[in-house]
Structure 1
Amino acid sequence: MLNPKGSSNPTTKYDDKEHIWSGARQHGFYNEGLTIGQIIFRQLQREPQRIFQISHTDNTRLTRWQMLENASKMGAYLREQKCIKETDIVGLMARNTTHVAAVAYGCLFNGTPFHAVNPNLEEKTIRDLYNITKPRILCCDSQDYEKIKDIAGTLGATVLIVNGKVPHVSSVPEILRTALNGNYEPSEFPGGINRTMAILCSSGTTGTPKAVTISNSRKLFECHSYLSPNDVQYAPSTLDWLTGLISLVTAGVYGTVRLISSEMFSPAHFLEICEQNEMSWTIMANSHVAMLANCPQTKAQKLRSLQHLLFAGGHCLVATLRKMQSFLHGQGILRNAYGLTELGALVSYNYDTQSKPESVGRLLANIRVRIVDAAGQNLSVSGVGEILLHNGQPWSGYFGNPKATAEMQDSAGWFHTGDIGYFDEDNYLHIVERKKDMLKYLGMMYYPHEIEEVIAQMPDVSEVCVFGLWREQEGDAAAASVVLRPSSQVQAFEVEIFVREHISVPFKHLHGGVQIVQQLAKSANGKVNRQAVKADYIKRFAST
């Protein structure tokens, strides 16, 4: 089935004997010997004068030819530095400015994995991550040089400044001012599809992020084959998050216009660049959708160019989805995307966020899913258990961490997500909650999301995060941090009363209390950090 914007609604089949759900079978278009870098290199040669990248922050525009030339110079530089092996890593800790794509594409051309780390992380976390992969070259913005210089010294790594200037430190713009010697061609590798392309960070909401290897698998971009050179793509996330990598690769493969900004996401900024640049495609965190839907400045006219608004990273409340849909010009634009960094791809799409707002949709091509109980037995339709994924693609695991790799992917290739969910009778996947987020109060199990959905029904609530406060005799008492819409006068006790009136079972009431906050703590890429919200709640109440 085609949605109004021309992309197909995925089909999912259920094997009632094996109790396994499968997306459509699809054969890859590209030779498996090619890397994604080789594919992008050829694409950038087509229509060389077309605009390929617009930087809102830097006020720059690059054609395909300019991007190809810049990326080729970076690839040639890496060859000169003898970055040949798959373990010759480039650390990339930079915001979305003009030359970030040239650095990343240059790595792809050369077959050199880049390890992307968010520059807003604490220095200790950055140090821990780069101590795992030990990059030979560290690329950063000038404002983050002090964070990285000691790490580079310990590793014996060269530092390159991507944006800005640091005295006596080499920079990417200096490399781009040099001439290319001869006709540059990207590197070739046997079985290029399985070579590690990038190393990203796990979400890190439950501890120090892990270094997740991403191969040259086509699954990173094939589900976005509806894109064309007429599309303008934007993602607020940096390259350390899967959505940032997806936008980088799909722009290169499909020749779209890549719109970037180094500013952190805000509804006002998003509305501005969307309207100015006629943005047609975006992928953002679920919390960004909540911020946008509840922003007084959001108007349908400002979003009229959007044809694909994907959100990922967690639940979006039903009331928020309905409000966001009211600003969009048609059905099928607002889509919930479920993915896994370790899988290096999206797993499912939900085009039906109106009729099935609590689902993450049907499976994408070549994805298989099992729902298993505590004993590892496959469950049937409506059975709630852990979600296991399989994409038929080899995975190199967490860099330098075989123990964690074995815990994530079993010997048969199934990824153990830690997400709890089920399939309905229409083969739509539903995520109930993270396995680690399940709470118990007075012996009764519950999930924070169940209570969040109820609180979100209050007209004055913009965002909400529920968590458990441990009490020795009772267990996890539910507590909530709530963000209100502008000018709201709702009090914390009113939220507690609302939950008691709308949830019949006492163990799901807010026995841990409520606090009204200006904003919820989020990860660097916009995902609500439940543990950080909880820590802030405990700190505030401890000081009163």
Structure 2
Amino acid sequence: MPFKPEISYEPDVKVWSGKYEAPYFSPDLSVGEITFNEMRRHPQLIAQISVSENTTLTREELFLNSQRIASYMRNLDLHQSDVVGIIARNTTHISAVVYACIFNGIAFHSLNVNYVPGTIEKLFSITEPKLIFCDGDEYEKVKTATAKLNVKLITMRNHKPGSISIQDLLATPIEKDFAPVRLERGNDQTMAILCSSGTTGVPKAVPNSSTHKFFTTTNYLTSADVQYCHSTLDWVTGLTTTIASGVHSTLRIINAEMFDGSLLLSQIEKYKITWLLIAPSHLAVLANCPEFEKTKIDSLKHLLYGGMCCSLEVQERFRKRVNPGVLQFAFGFTELGSSNGTLNKHYDEKPNSAGRVLPGNKLKIVNDQGEALDPNEVGEVCFHACQYWDGYYKNPEESRIVRDKEGWFHTGDTGYVDSDGFLFISGRKKDMLKFQNIMYYPSEIEDVITNMPGVAEVCVFGVYSDTNMYDAAASVVPKRGAQITAEDVIKYVQDNVEANYLQLHGGCLIVTDIKRSPNGKTNREATKVHFLQQLNKSK
């Protein structure tokens, strides 16, 4: 094997394992205790700069703010069994909310700000948070969605009448001799609850424990590093960045507004960002910016990206501008916890590979019968996190579906592991798609279009986009005699769906019939191929 022995392979069971690494911190400490101890170091260093709010916080200021918010929670007599809700952008004080929660051993449940009210209501009704931190921009939406809950709403910015301002919490006196709590369940205790989707399309609440896996891909960071990740706290990437910055004394640059490639390029040059964690769609935006070739990005030491496929052309454009080893393609999923499953540190030798399995994880490829396959054979990608997992919050049925009795997570992705132990993703078994990192199901849009007068049948699918991931597109069969145009369907969705990620950004095609499988069921892939063929003919 021409690569360092970072992994091991067991040919009898056909399983790849990450190389054992000694714990970076004392195993008996929680992430909250570790963060508390480390945040006392380097008090005068700048901890965070917000480019959208024009604010700067030292580590001492951020540390004190975290304790103030934690003290406010203690004054409300919140317990470790309670949950705090978050549906907010990367604003100035959101990191302090996270640190306050982990100091108190209270799990927080993070939702995306783009979720529609029905999704917010469903998710927060599962965890029943006592407090919800949101932006004033979403205050009315969140208030309506949580009307049945006994919950306090705290706004992070753009404060609205009736909300509690984060400034009120920051005025709370710090509890005397403040110290982080000891976790009642140790490091198996849930620290964060993120959102994912199972096999049915209903959002799931995914517990992440207070595991030290956070440090697997960040333990090389130092106070000389400058971090940027555009993800909010409802993504593992956003959570990992927040924890890493607090623990490793890095400078973190944040932005609460929509992703802007030109702005980020200017920030990389201005602040000499060394660690960038980004979605492949955003990577494509950067590569296609007119400023890309002129902007200095040689400060980058680690450029991590993953979660979906990424164009080789985009990766090559970056590779020409950075040093060897900077590009690192990662693969992971929310249920796996706070660490990626694999990471490719060898882009030049294995371009477009998702990399090798990381320490603390195991990987195998299985066929439809669940049998492990040999290297270079294509099947479903499965991971074992080698740690405790609580299962989906209050959802044991779906928990049993996503993870088998031996503890293996079935990702729904297809791929293979080559002879050197590098994972290559080839496709998806699931219908679930992503638009700008927001997960959605074709059925959500199909349900809307079927209610349109004159529609007989519809099939929605994803059309790959370098910038958006998967644009929803539709093939629609009109009822006999109905005069429906593609523009009519697109406008109907716009008029009846608020969320941008559920729009037909990929277009619409009026057809005489949907492509079907031999058993008569809709063949989504064949319908998509026909759509693209017709699209190409019209160009």
Give TM-score scaled by structure 2 length.
0.80
Give the 5 Å matches for 1:497-508: none
Deviation by residue 1:242-285 (Cα, 9 ceiling, x = unmatched): 11011001111211111111022121121122112111111111
Cα 1:478/1:141, change in 2 over 3 Å: closer
> In percent, how many aligned pairs have the same letter?
38
State the shift of 1:10 in Å: 7.4
Does structure 2 retain, via aligned residues, the 8 Å contact 1:10–1:362? no
Q: Take 1:168 and 1:436, find their aligned partners in 2: how far apart are those partners? A: 42
Give the corresponding residue for 1:25. 20
Does structure 1 retain, via aligned residues, the 8 Å contact 2:124–2:146? no
1:388 aligns with 2:382: yes
- Amino acid paired to 1:353: Y
Give the corresponding residue for 2:483. none
Does structure 2 retain, via aligned residues, the 8 Å contact 1:321–1:353? no
Cα 1:370/1:52, change in 2 over 3 Å: same
- Amino acid paired to 1:392: C
Give the corresponding residue for 1:525. none
Cα 1:41/1:408, change in 2 over 3 Å: same
Does structure 2 retain, via aligned residues, the 8 Å contact 1:223–1:365? no
> Which residue of 18, 34, 38 corresponds with 1:39?
34
Deviation by residue 1:384-420 (Cα, 9 ceiling, x = unmatched): 1111111210001111111111111122211111111
Give the corresponding residue for 1:81. 76
Give the corresponding residue for 2:155. 161
Q: Take 1:122 and 1:409, find their aligned partners in 2: how far apart are those partners? A: 28
Question: Match of 1:54, SS?
Answer: strand
Q: Take 1:10 and 1:282, find their aligned partners in 2: how far apart are those partners? A: 26
Give the corresponding residue for 1:379. 373
Q: Take 2:5 and 2:32, find their aligned partners in 1: how far apart are those partners? A: 27
Give the 5 Å matches for 1:489-528: none
- Amino acid paired to 1:14: Y
Q: Take 1:24 and 1:310, find their aligned partners in 2: how far apart are those partners? A: 20
Cα 1:205/1:406, change in 2 over 3 Å: closer
Give the corresponding residue for 2:476. none
Give the 5 Å matches for 1:179-218: 179-202=173-196, 207-218=201-212
Give the corresponding residue for 1:360. 354
The number of residue pairs the alignment matches comes to 460
Deviation by residue 1:491-541 (Cα, 9 ceiling, x = unmatched): xxxxxxxxxxxxxxxxxxxxxxxxxx9xxx9xxxxxx97xx58x5445465
Q: Take 1:105 and 1:32, find their aligned partners in 2: how far apart are those partners? A: 19
Question: Match of 1:127, SS?
Answer: helix
Give the corresponding residue for 2:287. 293
State the shift of 1:483 in Å: 7.3
Give the 5 Å matches for 1:434-513: 434-436=428-430
Deviates more, 1:27-36 or 1:213-222: 27-36
Q: Take 1:219 and 1:287, find their aligned partners in 2: how far apart are those partners? A: 26
1:118 aligns with 2:125: no
Deviation by residue 1:329-375 (Cα, 9 ceiling, x = unmatched): x1111110111110112011112223322211111112111111111
Cα 1:400/1:482, change in 2 over 3 Å: closer
State the shift of 1:94 in Å: 0.8
Q: Take 2:236 and 2:157, find their aligned partners in 1: how far apart are those partners? A: 22
Deviates more, 1:132-141 or 1:429-438: 429-438
Does structure 2 retain, via aligned residues, the 8 Å contact 1:10–1:364? no
Does structure 1 retain, via aligned residues, the 8 Å contact 2:121–2:146? no
State the shift of 1:65 in Å: 1.1
1:306 aligns with 2:300: yes
Q: Take 1:9 and 1:273, find their aligned partners in 2: how far apart are those partners? A: 35
> Which residue of 54, 58, 71 corresponds with 2:53?
58
Does structure 2 retain, via aligned residues, the 8 Å contact 1:202–1:209? yes
> Which residue of 305, 325, 332 corresponds with 1:332?
325
Q: What is the Cα-based RMSD across aligned positions, in Å? A: 3.0
Structure 1 gap segments, 5+ residues each: 2-7, 439-447, 449-466, 471-475, 485-516, 522-527
Q: Take 1:73 and 1:223, find their aligned partners in 2: how far apart are those partners? A: 30
Q: Take 1:350 and 1:274, find their aligned partners in 2: how far apart are those partners? A: 23
Question: Match of 1:223, SS?
Answer: coil
State the shift of 1:42 in Å: 0.5
Q: Take 2:151 and 2:227, find their aligned partners in 1: how far apart are those partners? A: 34
Q: Take 1:255 and 1:124, find their aligned partners in 2: how far apart are those partners? A: 39
Q: Take 2:252 and 2:462, find their aligned partners in 1: how far apart are those partners? A: 41
> Which residue of 59, 72, 94 corresponds with 2:67?
72
Give TM-score scaled by structure 1 length.
0.79
Q: Take 1:300 and 1:362, find their aligned partners in 2: how far apart are those partners? A: 33
Does structure 1 retain, via aligned residues, the 8 Å contact 2:117–2:144? no
- Amino acid paired to 2:123: L
Cα 1:76/1:356, change in 2 over 3 Å: same
Question: Match of 1:202, SS?
Answer: strand
Does structure 2 retain, via aligned residues, the 8 Å contact 1:286–1:316? yes
